[in-house]
Amino acid sequence: MIVASSKPFQEIKQMLSGFKKVCVLGCGSCVTICHTGGEKQVIELAAQLRLSAKLEGREVEVIEDSTLRQCEWEFIEDIREVIQDCDAVLSIACGIGVQYMAERFPKIRVFPGLNTTFMGGPTEQGIFWERCAGCGNCILGTTGGLCPVSRCAKSLLNGPCGGSQNGKCEVSQETPCVWHQIYDQLDTQRLLATMETIVPPKDWTTGMENHPRKMILEHLVMKK
Amino acid sequence: MTVTNTCVTFDKKINEEAPCILACPIRQDARDYVQLIARGRFSEAFRLVRERNPLPAACGRICTHPCETKCRRNSTDAPIAIAWLKRVLGDNFSEETRKITTEKYPEKIAIIGAGPAGLAAANDLALFGYSCTIFESNSTPGGMLRMGVPPYRLPRKTIDNDVEFIKKLGVEIQYNTTFGADITFASLKEDGFSAVFIGIGLIESRTLNIEGVQLGGVLKGISFLNEVNTTGSARIGKNVLVIGGGAVAMDCARTALRLKSHKVSVACLESRKEMPTTDFEIEEAVHEGVVLYNSVGPKRIVGKDGKVAGLETLRVKHVFDEQKRFNPAFYEGSESVIEADTIILAIGQASNLSFLKGQDGIQITRGGTIVVNPATFSTSVHGIYAGGDIVLGRGTMTESMAQGKKAAIAIHNALRNTAIKDEKWAEKPAVPEVLPSRISFIKKEQKQEMPVMPLEERLNSFDEVELGFRLNEAVKEAQRCMNCGAGALVDDNLCVGCLTCVRVCPFEVPEIKRGDTTAYIDGDCQSCGLCIVECPAKAISFKTPLEDCGRDALEAVFQEKFIQGVKPLIINFYCQYGVYYEDTIDAIDDAFFSHVRRVGVLGLGKVDPSLYLKAFELGAHGVVVTACKDDICHFCKDREWVERRTKFASQLLGGLGMEPGRLRTHFVSSQNGKEVLELALRMVEDMKNLSSGQS
Ligand code: SF4
Ligand code: SF4
Ligand code: SF4
Ligand code: SF4
């Protein structure tokens, strides 16, 4: 899923300064699950906005709403009525949702309440790790199911760098060295020999280097 | 699809009902009044009880409480004292029931007998809007409650209080009016009554067909009790033997002890386990000094000079035959004699149907009870209904009330040509027993003991033996209740299957079953509310509106007149477990009362951090959270959650530039009223000194 973190409140306040009627809009999918963009955060953020206005003697009306997914035209169309007389929408979806909102409601200012951060998942309640870089050419089949593109600080493809120590990454002691983990995993699977295969330089054009990417499923595209 | 769910509003169907409610013949809202008491909301609890129960004070004392037998707390330690809690309400609170109708129908209804069935029927018919007259042969109300139940178990003023309430609904009672003599079916018809409900009970004591029953000193149970209950005395000897093993036998024996008999014994056919009354009543009798002779049958009463000298008995082989029918058999040659100068027969009651003379067509059973349609309690004659012991044979007080209530609905339906139903009686599955694997997560909590009069004092008077809970004891007892069937419920339309509830629940209740996309919370939910707060989709809420996690209480504070003028205003969120509000802050402290308002929640794990923000938004200048220490936490886990949530809320407030000291958390038991008081007062002082731009 997409993981996003909350923007500092000061930044949000700045973005919204001067607007009289603001809708805080949550998204019921990935960002709900990572506890930054769900109904709970809508309530909290709206309370913060109201309280901050009260403390500073400003008049602001804050309304609260959510959609199942902000990255679907049909779902966001449903809230047209709710936001029509708002000056601004604070979308706490990932960047995709924010853009969908901005595109569909060009007359209303739409601001991001989150920083979309990575694709990953919870390893335990409250802790999220990056797991995929969306490189467009998955190699997990040869690395024991661990992604060196997203989990190695240097995205190395042919084994660890010289900084790997005691299983930790030299860039951060908090981060396990994924190449150390790959080695252990291949060892368990009696596949260590694959470590010796030299992986040629990766074709990065399938990934981040080639924006914007697009996918077409011919068999599903309907005539306009 | 838009999801607007700041406050979850959807059809909160409760499909499983608490077994305590289902077990009650009148379907008293046991769980809900217990839960209200747990929150110190006594008046509301009383109102709730009274809306279904016409005799709460009496019921709280002598009901056989099948609710407690079925209480799910049996599987963790001991059942909730549901009946005793009702007694607290009946004894200490009285408030008009809210349901008083403005509807007035022209029909008059005659009720025969002011016992539990008749009173219940009259009460409910009056609530519907009918004028009811109860005709009672005695000079006081209560029926068997008054004739049969001794005052040390049921003080007379409690019956009077309950009845007074019924009279306030407009019910008239005509005493000293015997049905069949002073009034008849014909006279009632002439007087314009549209329907008659017969609830006259079983007024004859059964007697034994053995040699010697006519001897002087042989008394009938209910007559004996009635005499003592009305005059305060009766002529008995020094060595009394009661024959019978039921509640009436125990009452006769304990009454005889209070009349200063030297020895009082009870002889019955049944073994100790088979005796047809509650353990509790038997134990109390034995505790007071009654001697039990179990498994003996009466052969003849031995006489001397025309007076009783003893009872010759036979040893019982079995009381019930293989078909489980009552069919006692005895060992031959096992005769022995129990000496006694008085013998009281407490072997059951029988009907007296002489009032039926001239009224043909009312079908009766071989046992002398009236046959009714089990759904409507209508007899075989149109417009004549019956209920209570005259139908049941031998029933409990609550069963009788249930029949009176059901008959009331049927009478209304017949007169108005409607088909209304009382939804409370609908068939529903009971919440199943607690899953064994979860029992160890649930904290064992000592059941409150009923304070009783010391043994030495008891036998000197007919004063009530059980003294009743004090309010704080009642609150503590009620707080043991697990709120069965009213716990957390997931709205499938909102749940995104994030697993948070599954991970945070300390009782391992929520689960997302294979193949499901949403979480499911079963009846073992303990209502701690942790998942409700943590669910990021706000998909979980309590099934009943009773628990709103502190929101209403907070808003109520700001409804208060002039509250915005209070400076500084401190809101104290406190855990209600173990405390009864009025009890805690007893020191009358002006500063406290003028600056601090309290929001009690049954477990602070239910409080959403946004509520602390809300307090400030509404106008508070400081918030002090006083949460229990670990060791006394009812849910065992709330502390860590309170800690991290208040920390989180502090961060949110910090982000707004608010001084850190404005939200404080202290782990001090709410039971420690003195410390809470000090902490709150310190905050008042500090807030006075903080010169922020807050208004
Ligand atoms: S230490 Fe390991 S994870 Fe870190 S950069 Fe080097 S190879 Fe990558
Ligand atoms: S624990 Fe409470 S709700 Fe559950 S059965 Fe007992 S009294 Fe009823
Ligand atoms: S916490 Fe809420 S959204 Fe997550 S699984 Fe439970 S009910 Fe569903
Ligand atoms: S309310 Fe508490 S006990 Fe009930 S399911 Fe949620 S976390 Fe578990």
Quick one: three-class SS letters along chain A?
Answer: CEEEEECCHHHHHHHHCCCCEEEEEEECCHHHHCCCCCHHHHHHHHHHHHHHHHHCCCCCEEEEEEECCCCCHHHHHCCHHHHCCCCEEEECCCHHHHHHHHHHCCCCEEEECEEEEEEEEEEECCEEEEEECCCCCCCHHHCCCCCHHHHCCCCCCCCCCCCCECCECCCCCCCECHHHHHHHHHHHCCCHHHHHCCCCCCCHHHCCCCCCCCCCCHHHCCCC
Cis check: omega of the bond before B568, within 30 degrees of 0: yes
DSSP assignment string, B37-70:
HHTT-HHHHHHHHHHH-S-HHHHHHH---HHHHH
Tens of pLDDT, residue by residue over A55-109, are: 999 999 999 999 999 999 999 999 999 999 999 999 999 999 999 999 999 999 9
Q: Which letter does DSSP use for residue B442 in this model? A: S
Facing A67 at nearest CB: one of B3, B608, B609 = B3
Measured CA to CA in angstroms, residue A207 lies from A137, A147, A154, A212 at distances of 8, 14, 15, 10
Probe residue for ligand 3, chosen from B491, B540, B542 as the CB with the greatest number of ligand atoms within 8 Å: B540
Q: Mean pLDDT over all residues of chain B?
A: 90
Residue A182 amino acid letter = I
Phi, psi of B649 (to 5 degrees): -65, -35
Which percentage of chain B shows pLDDT scores above 70?
95
Tell if the CB–CB gap between A43 and B1 is shorter than 8 Å.
no
Q: What is the pLDDT of residue B12?
A: 41
For residue B4, the distance in angstroms to the closest alpha carbon of chain A comes to: 6
* Cβ burial A49-86 (10 Å sphere, 16+ → b, else e): bbbbbbbeeeebebbbbbbbbbbeeebbeebeebbeeb
Residue B694 pLDDT > 60: no
Measured CA to CA in angstroms, residue B241 lies from A20, B217, B345, B455, B694 at distances of 88, 10, 9, 21, 80
Q: How confident is the model at residue B586 (pLDDT cuts 50, 70, 90)?
A: low
Q: How confident is the model at residue B172 (pLDDT cuts 50, 70, 90)?
A: very high
Query: Between A and B, how many residue pairs show a Cβ–Cβ distance under 8 A?
Result: 94
Give the residue from B610, B648, B653 with the most A CB atoms within 10 Å of its CB, the best one to mutate.
B610
Residues B301 and B213 grouped into a single domain: yes
Tens of pLDDT, residue by residue over B488-516, are: 999 999 999 999 999 999 999 999 998 89
**Which residues lie below 8 Å from residue A196, measured CB to CB, with a gap of 6+?**
none
Please indicate whether residue B572 or residue B629 has the higher confidence score (pLDDT): B572
Which residue ranges does chain A devote to CATH 3.40.50?
Answer: 2-118
Q: What is the pLDDT of residue B587?
A: 54
- CATH number of the domain that residue B62 is part of: 1.10.1060.10
Residues B668 and B640 grouped into a single domain: yes
Tell if the CB–CB gap between A8 and B655 is shorter than 8 Å.
yes
Q: How confident is the model at residue B346 (pLDDT cuts 50, 70, 90)?
A: very high
B482 CA: nearest ligand 2 atom: 1
Q: How far is the CA of A129 from the centre of ligand 3 (A)?
A: 20
Q: Which of B218, B465, B475, B182 lies closest to B347 in space, CA to CA?
A: B218
Residues B610 and B511 grouped into a single domain: no
Q: What is the pLDDT of residue A63?
A: 97
Give the residue from A6, A55, A75 with the most B CB atoms within 10 Å of its CB, the best one to mutate.
A55
Q: What is the pLDDT of residue B294?
A: 95
Q: State the ligand closest to the CA atom of A32.
A: 3
Residues B566 and B690 grouped into a single domain: yes
Residues B148 and B219 grouped into a single domain: no
**In chain A, what is the straight-line distance between the N-terminal and C-terminal CA atoms, in Å?**
31
Residues B657 and B572 grouped into a single domain: yes
Q: How far is the CA of B499 from the centre of ligand 2 (A)?
A: 28
Q: Residue B280 falls within a domain, yes or no?
A: yes
Residue identifier of the C-alpha nearest atom 5 of ligand 1: A153
| Run of H or E including B268 | none
Which percentage of chain B shows pLDDT scores above 90?
70
Q: How confident is the model at residue B578 (pLDDT cuts 50, 70, 90)?
A: confident
Tens of pLDDT, residue by residue over A160-211, are: 999 999 999 999 999 999 999 999 999 999 999 999 999 999 888 888 778 8
Q: Residue B116, CB half-sphere, CA atoms under 13 Å: how many?
A: 32
Residues B262 and B239 grouped into a single domain: yes
Coil/strand/helix, residue B410: helix
Which percentage of chain A shows pLDDT scores above 90?
91
Residue B584 pLDDT > 80: no
Q: Which residues of A touch B609 (CB under 8 A)?
A: 44
Q: How far is the CA of B536 from the centre of ligand 3 (A)?
A: 7
Residues B186 and B214 grouped into a single domain: no
Coil/strand/helix, residue B672: coil
Tens of pLDDT, residue by residue over B213-262, are: 999 999 999 899 989 988 888 899 999 999 999 989 999 999 999 998 89
Q: Residue B427 falls within a domain, yes or no?
A: no
Tens of pLDDT, residue by residue over B117-129, are: 999 999 999 999 9
The class level of CATH for A2-118 reads alpha beta
- CATH number of the domain that residue B499 is part of: 3.30.70.20
Residue of chain B whose Cα is closest to the Cα of A31: B536
Q: Residue B429 falls within a domain, yes or no?
A: no
Tell if the CB–CB gap between B536 and A51 is shorter than 8 Å.
no
Facing B617 at nearest CB: one of A10, A50, A79 = A50
Q: Which residues of A touch B537 (CB under 8 A)?
A: 28, 32, 38-40
Tell if the CB–CB gap between B503 and A125 is shorter than 8 Å.
yes
d(CA A128, CA A118): 10
Q: Residue B603 falls within a domain, yes or no?
A: yes
Q: Which of B254, B222, B229, B281 lies closest to B65 in space, CA to CA?
A: B281
Residues B656 and B574 grouped into a single domain: yes
Residue B147 amino acid letter = M
Q: Residue B426 falls within a domain, yes or no?
A: no
Please indicate whether residue B168 or residue A22 has the higher confidence score (pLDDT): A22
Q: How confident is the model at residue B367 (pLDDT cuts 50, 70, 90)?
A: confident
Q: Which residues of B touch A48 (CB under 8 A)?
A: 613, 652, 655-656
Give the pLDDT mean for B360-371: 88
Please, are residues B278 and B188 in contact by the beta-carbon 8 Å criterion? no
Structure-token pair, residue B299: 């052969």
Residues B210 and B337 grouped into a single domain: yes
Q: Which residues of B touch A66 (CB under 8 A)?
A: 2-5
Q: How confident is the model at residue B433 (pLDDT cuts 50, 70, 90)?
A: very high
Tell if the CB–CB gap between B2 and A79 is shorter than 8 Å.
yes
Q: How far is the CA of B535 from the centre of ligand 3 (A)?
A: 5
Q: How confident is the model at residue A156 (pLDDT cuts 50, 70, 90)?
A: very high
Q: How confident is the model at residue B6 (pLDDT cuts 50, 70, 90)?
A: very low
Tens of pLDDT, residue by residue over B173-221, are: 999 999 988 999 999 999 999 999 999 999 888 889 999 999 999 999 9
Q: How confident is the model at residue A33 (pLDDT cuts 50, 70, 90)?
A: very high
Cis check: omega of the bond before A212, within 30 degrees of 0: yes
Q: Residue B102 falls within a domain, yes or no?
A: no
Q: What is the pLDDT of residue B100?
A: 67
Q: How confident is the model at residue A223 (pLDDT cuts 50, 70, 90)?
A: confident
Q: What is the pLDDT of residue B98?
A: 60
| Run of H or E including B197 | strand B193-198
Structure-token pair, residue A205: 């054009």
d(CA A178, CA A183): 9
Q: What is the pLDDT of residue B693?
A: 43
Give the pLDDT mean for B146-158: 92
Residues B180 and B224 grouped into a single domain: no
Residue B280 pLDDT > 70: yes
Phi, psi of B672 (to 5 degrees): -90, 75
Q: How far is the CA of A125 from the centre of ligand 1 (A)?
A: 26
The range of the structural domain enclosing residue B489 comes to 1-16+485-547
Probe residue for ligand 1, chosen from A147, A166, A175, A177 as the CB with the greatest number of ligand atoms within 8 Å: A177
Residue B673 pLDDT > 80: no
Q: How far is the CA of B488 from the centre of ligand 4 (A)?
A: 6
Residue B53 pLDDT > 90: yes
- Is residue B546 within 6 Å of ligand 2 at its C-beta? no
Number of C-beta neighbours around residue A98 at 10 A: 24
* Pairing outcome for strands B488-490 and B131-135: unpaired
Please, are residues B345 and B220 in contact by the beta-carbon 8 Å criterion? yes
- CATH number of the domain that residue B277 is part of: 3.50.50.60
Facing B614 at nearest CB: one of A40, A47, A55 = A47
The total of structural domains in chain B comes to: 5
Q: Residue B433 falls within a domain, yes or no?
A: no
Residue of chain B whose Cα is closest to the Cα of A121: B498
